[in-house]
Structure 1
Amino acid sequence: MRIAVLGAGAMGSLFGGLLAQAGEDVTLVDVWEDHIKAIKEHGLTMICDGVEENVKINAETSPAQVGPVDLVIFLVKGTHTEQAIKNATPMIQPDTRVLTLQNGLGNAEKIADVVGEDKVLFGVIDFASVLLGPGRISSELAKRTIHFKPLNNIVDDKVKQVEQVFRNARINAEISLEVERDIWRKLVINCNLNALCTVCRIRTGTLLDQGEITQSLFKDITKEIVTVAGAKGINLDFEECMDFLNDLSSKVRGHYPSMTQDLMKKRKTEIEFINGAVVREGKKHGVATPVNETLYHLITILHNTYSDQF
């Protein structure tokens, strides 16, 4: 299968590297020229489960340099989705599928507006990767699980082929028609850890060390998400979400969440697609989300005022 990974950050590079190791024809596509240059000249260095490997893989800065592919794995920041999918059209042919594994809500629909619903797959990643520098990444969690499904709910041979390609690359992929539940469950992680660590500008472990203060915030944020999801017909168990949140948090204590990293680099964050999405869905269904809304407004102010911050 000919595959392009659009958005070759930490996760995109990991997916591309694993797929290339499995023998797939993969090209990483990213606008970060230093990263692409390093991969072209020296290959992609991956540290997976403590083992360092170097993978030879194609890399380009523009979709126009790639040509038509069978699968586009879409991992750009949500803030760039609309422009990125328009730029990606040279890679998309009638039978191409576009799989978005981005954080938050609403990206699949934006992609479908450009390429059509029948081409779009969407899902959720249950593991993490860290970008160490140009051409170097590290995989933090060994579980390597993704759940995904077609936006139109039609599981054809092409969708099954995508699932098998991932499995051949040591990625535990599963087609799941209930993937929305998994996405909202991950939204619990992002709305809590991304938002709180970003407002406080701290690592996950430092946030956890605040004890009951943090747990109180976790509960308030999570209750709102569970209530909004329920109003949409998505059944989340509050206690299970809290256990999942605390368990994952304890495993990534040294981690700055991606939104926090964006703030540190004075880049626009994905708050619109995370806490902001919960606020919008809450308003649609008549559910108040005051804690998520407060975090949404605070982080929006932060990335709107970089030039005035000390």
Structure 2
Amino acid sequence: MSRVAIIGAGAMGSVYAALMADAGHEVYAVTLWADHVAAMQEKGLRLSGYSGDRTVRLHASTSTDGMGVCDLVIIASKGGDVEAAARAALTLCGEHTVVQTIQNGLGSADRVAPIVGADRLAVGVVGGFGASLVEPGHVHHNGMAIVRFGAYAGLQEDRLDSSAEVWRSSGFTVSLFADLNRMIWEKLLVNVAFSATCALSGRTIGEVIDDPDLWSVAGGCAAEAAAVAAARGIDLQVGDPVEHVRKIGSGIRDARPSLLLDHLAGRRSEIDVINGSIPREAAKVGAQAPINATVTALVLAAEKSFQR
């Protein structure tokens, strides 16, 4: 079994932590949410939903101090926090440690690599989980459809595969990708379809799919992202991008994306690296992405009243 640290044990990170601990790995869950840490320390971490209902014991803390070297470090923080998380990971890294960064949107791995070293870094995307924190110490998920990893630059194939094996042994189905752009952008299609539309409307993914007006916006965001990817020469292999995101979303109809959860909690979101990334990438190829630009502006306007 492996020693695994998960930095950013929010909703998604807690799902990873619970399933890995349940599989017998020695898991360290790190989050700044003190109430969540206290609940995990006192009662364990409860995971409910798609994979069943269980409570597992693991190590929980608000910092990485004193944890020692780990075999695998997973940076599951929000995009804006990845550099701080990467610096916190340094004390956990030994000669053979693999660091995996898993965020929504674009650009996180480029900020993590200079800190932890590009040759130890794997980039991951996950999707179809629909994870949410029910209360401190309790996380729920609606599915677990996509888990993909690829080497950022220089990470040896055997080390990439050994890090992926931690996930496989914990019940995740993992695919390894050589084409990072394809891997990241195929996940980004789903993010841009549902993130802003759910946050702005207050609806679940299934409710967005069922509402013709909302679906026209969600599908338009995905279609724009696919067009930008094509213009950049990225070979997406999803067929019709709008039908692709409909299919993925239909598997987690009751899920509320992290952007909606952030707004419900009065937190600023990751909109800039999700829908907001599409107009920036479009400009690089002389194109525009007006639907994504509009929903990004609306989300940012809504967040002006948020305090954090």
TM-score normalised by the chain length of structure 2: 0.92
Match of 2:56 in 1: 55
Partner of 1:27: 28
Question: When the two structures are aligned, how many residues end up with a matched partner?
Answer: 305
* Equivalent-residue separation in structure 2 for 1:155 and 1:11 (angstroms): 27
Q: Could you tell me how far apart the structure 1 residues matched to 2:51 and 2:223 are?
A: 37
Gaps of 5+ in 2: none
* Corresponding residue for residue 251 of structure 2: 251
- After TM superposition, give the deviation of residue 142 of structure 1 in Å: 4.9
Per the alignment, residue 122 of structure 2 pairs with: 121
Could you tell me which amino acid in structure 1 is paired with residue 246 of structure 2? N
How high is the TM-score relative to the length of structure 1?
0.91
Instruction: Provide, for residues 274-307 of structure 1, a one-character-per-residue CA deviation record: whole Å limited to 9, x for no partner.
Output: 0111122111222211111111222122212336
Contact 1:124 1:186 (8 Å CA) reproduced: yes
**Letter aligned with residue 139 of structure 2:** I
Q: Do the aligned partners of 2:68 and 2:92 also contact (CA within 8 Å) in 1?
A: yes
- The residue number in structure 1 matching 2:42 is 41
1:152-191 correspondence runs (5 A):
152=153, 154-191=155-192
1:39 partner letter: M
Alpha-carbon separation, structure 2, partners of 1:219 and 1:127: 17
CA contact (8 A) 2:21 2:58 kept: yes
CA contact (8 A) 1:222 1:238 kept: no
Identity %: 31
CA distance in 1, matches of 2:144, 2:226: 28
Q: Shift in Å at residue 262 of structure 1?
A: 0.5
Alignment partner of 1:8 is 2:14: no
CA apart distance, 1:116: 1.7
Give, in whole Å, the separation in 2 of the partners of 1:32 and 1:296.
27
Q: State the secondary structure of the residue aligned to 1:11.
A: helix
Kindly state the Cα deviation for residue 153 of structure 1 after the two structures are TM-superposed.
Answer: 5.5
Q: CA deviation at 1:94?
A: 3.5
**Residues in 2 aligned to 1:127 and 1:222: alpha-carbon distance in whole angstroms:** 16
* 1:172-213 superposed Cα distances (whole Å, 9 cap, x missing partner): 1122112432321221111121111112232223323322x2
Partner in structure 1 of residue 136 of structure 2: 134
SS in 2 for 1:51: coil
Structure 2 residue aligned with 1:96: 97
Structure 1: distance between partners of 2:154 and 2:293: 32
Question: Which has the larger displacement, 233-242 or 8-17?
Answer: 233-242
**Contact 2:120/2:155 (CA < 8 Å) preserved in 1?**
no
Alpha-carbon contact 1:60-1:66 (below 8 Å) kept: no
Q: Is the 8 A contact 2:193 2:219 kept in 1?
A: no
What is aligned with 1:230? 230
SS of structure 2 residue aligned to 1:97: strand
Aligned to 1:270: 270
Alignment root-mean-square deviation, CA = 1.9
Question: Which ranges of structure 1 fall in alignment gaps of 5 or more residues?
Answer: none
1:24-44: per-residue Cα shift (whole Å, max 9, x none)? Answer: 111000011111111111111
Q: Is the 8 A contact 1:282 1:289 kept in 2?
A: yes
